[in-house]
Amino acid sequence: AGWHSDDLGILTGLGSKGYLYAPILASSLLSQALALPLPVERWVWEALTPLRHSQSLSQHLAGKT
């Protein structure tokens, strides 16, 4: 779950645990879109974002808290 571009969030590839992760990930993605506080701790969100291996992760998340 996370932002693919500035105006496109993705929630895909959840696998067999999708029924468990989907609600909290959808809530987190929506919170970012509406500039609301994340419903999970920041380290949890950073561990789940598709950009987690990118060097630009911190710059990307800095604009979307």
For residue range 13-41, what is the model confidence (pLDDT) as tens digits?
Answer: 888 888 888 888 888 888 888 889 989 89
The token pair at 54 is 């990118």
**pLDDT at position 47:** 79
Count of residues for the chain? 65
Residue 49 to residue 54: CA distance in whole angstroms: 10
